[in-house]
Chain A
Amino acid sequence: MAEALLFYTLAALILGLGVMVVSARSAVHSVLFLVVNFLLVAVLYVTLNAEFVAVIQVLVYAGGIVVLYLFVVMLVNLKQAPERFSDPRRLARSGLVLGGVVLALIVVVVSSSLRAGAAPEGTLSGFGTPFTSGNTEQLGWVLYTSYLIPFELASMLLLVAMVGAIVLAKRHLGE
């Protein structure tokens, strides 16, 4: 009961804020809605027994990436909004109608596939790692053993991205 209530509340807020993100007139407002959206998603993760992921979600997404967005929005302090000739709300509305149709289709697909094959149970993957709540240590263990190479690749990716971002954003000397 309480679980369902929590889920439906969170779901409604997440979706609502998602709509606000894509339909907000001001980019700064979009960012704000996005932050709140991510925080709510983090709460959703907590209900799914994924505390570590939730904290990472807050730390990296809300505290890092979105700050970056806000930063860029403020740097690109536009005199005029890029959408001065079109009404973003109207566009978003028409888009949402289209999206609703597609979503309905997906619902049909998913529910029909769930009906057709029995709902998957137990571990599907060969490298499944059963876990309990409070799984930070386990997650670290899995991350540094089974997924070591992807983990290192991700770190390289981040390094490359960092260098790339600096190269792109840096004003060249003499400019």
Chain B
Amino acid sequence: MLDTVVIPLLKIAVLVNAVLVAVTFLVLMERKVIAWAQSRLGPMRVGPYGILQALADPIKLILKEDITPVKADRYVFTLAPIMSLVPALVVFAVVPFGPDPLYYIGDINVGLLFIISVTSIGVYGIILGGWASNSKYPLLASLRASAQLISYEIAVTMTLVSVILTTGTLSLVGIVEAQRESGIWFGFIQPVALVLVFIGGLAETNRAPFDLPEAETELTGGFHTEYSGMRFALFFLAEYANMIVISAVVVLIFFGGWLRPFPNIAWLGFLDLLPAWIWFVGKVFLFLYVFIWIRATLPRYRYDQLMSLGWKVLIPVAIGNLVVTGVFKVVF
């Protein structure tokens, strides 16, 4: 009973809370980084260097009035943010933070596929949110979003297939172990796949430069125009949780997960003094920083450019990468 119910439930509780807290600090981090990028200071008022802004924002959102438009589809309108957030959190069920079972909830043998499929459920939140608002701009945004997410999901999935081909397993723990055994992070074996997955990840999380579903200049805010208060906060949480998920996946697959750098070089063993999960979280935050960095740097794509990039560049390159990987696999 303890091992099968209580401990997993505890783990889930800790993890969910950790993710949500991480999200609040991620928001702060984003504001700060962008501010620095623009030679500003960013939030400075709440706490030292505005560090408590991370708490102030959620409180503000919770306390705000929650408005439901009259013509909206009430149930769907409520359901949409939940459907957006839940898959983002469910994914963490298979994300390993360290080598032994203490650091993950479950290691299933189709872990990577699980992540892909559960993430794909997240689309519903955006589509339904846009539709249920019964408003022009959110509907357009949700149509855009769904097309974008489905398109890029193909590219990402196809790219991941070539990674699976190199590892021979779908289990995330197995993938990290494979990197430890081969002594090299897969990011160096599969650089093309790394770039593809990262670009696809940007698009799947609606991050700049692919943030068309919430392009303020075009759609007055995107699919969540009609949302406010806690329901808006849920969308917000979902987006940032998804960022963490993508970063985590990239780190697990391409940057050795919890492994220290150069896991096969013995004299670097002192790096193991840091616990594995710290390495993992550190790498994830490194990638989150890259996300923000890109947002601060790059302008937004036009919609047709986005689509032609996805279909005419990423998917062909992914297929080519798959073919090349397969050939290497057969030859060597």
Taking the complex as formed, is A64 at the interface, i.e. its CB lies under 8 A from any CB of chain B?
A: yes
- Bound Cα distance from A63 to B119, whole angstroms: 8
Closest to A74 in B: B131
In the complex, chain A residues whose CB is within 8 Å of the CB of B79: 32
Decide: A67 and B123 in contact? CB cutoff 8 A: yes
Q: How far is the CB of A80 from chain B (nearest CB, A)?
A: 16
- Bound Cα distance from A91 to B143, whole angstroms: 32
In the complex, chain A residues whose CB is within 8 Å of the CB of B109: 51, 134, 136
- Bound Cα distance from A74 to B144, whole angstroms: 12
Taking the complex as formed, is B76 at the interface, i.e. its CB lies under 8 A from any CB of chain A?
A: yes
Decide: B113 and A70 in contact? CB cutoff 8 A: no
Q: How far is the CB of A27 from chain B (nearest CB, A)?
A: 11
**Binding site of A, secondary structure by majority: helix, strand, loop or mixed?**
helix
Decide: A74 and B73 in contact? CB cutoff 8 A: no
Decide: A62 and B73 in contact? CB cutoff 8 A: no
Q: A32-B76, A51-B109, A136-B109 are in contact. Are A67 and B116 (CB under 8 A)?
A: no
Q: A51-B108, A64-B150, A136-B110 are in contact. Are A59 and B116 (CB under 8 A)?
A: yes
Taking the complex as formed, is A40 at the interface, i.e. its CB lies under 8 A from any CB of chain B?
A: no
Q: How far is the CB of B294 from chain A (nearest CB, A)?
A: 26
Taking the complex as formed, is B120 at the interface, i.e. its CB lies under 8 A from any CB of chain A?
A: yes
Closest to B170 in A: A136
In the complex, chain B residues whose CB is within 8 Å of the CB of A62: 117, 120-121
Taking the complex as formed, is A94 at the interface, i.e. its CB lies under 8 A from any CB of chain B?
A: no
Decide: B117 and A67 in contact? CB cutoff 8 A: no
- Bound Cα distance from A132 to B109, whole angstroms: 12
- Bound Cα distance from A51 to B121, whole angstroms: 17
- Against B, the Cβ 8 Å flags (1 = close, 0 = not) of A55-71 are 11011001110010011
Decide: B127 and A67 in contact? CB cutoff 8 A: yes
Q: How far is the CB of B206 from chain A (nearest CB, A)?
A: 16
Decide: A70 and B120 in contact? CB cutoff 8 A: no
Taking the complex as formed, is A26 at the interface, i.e. its CB lies under 8 A from any CB of chain B?
A: yes
Q: Which of A18-56 contact B (CB under 8 A)?
A: 26, 28-29, 32, 35, 39, 51-52, 55-56
Chain B residues within 8 Å of A, Cβ to Cβ: 73, 75-76, 79, 108-110, 113-114, 116-118, 120-121, 123-124, 127-128, 131-132, 139, 142-143, 146, 150, 153, 170
30 interchain pairs, CB-CB under 8 A: A28-B76, A28-B132, A32-B76, A39-B121, A51-B108, A55-B113, A55-B117, A56-B113, A58-B118, A58-B121, A59-B117, A62-B121, A63-B120, A63-B123, A63-B153, A64-B150, A67-B123, A67-B124, A67-B146, A67-B150, A70-B128, A70-B131, A70-B146, A71-B127, A74-B127, A74-B131, A74-B142, A136-B109, A136-B110, A136-B170
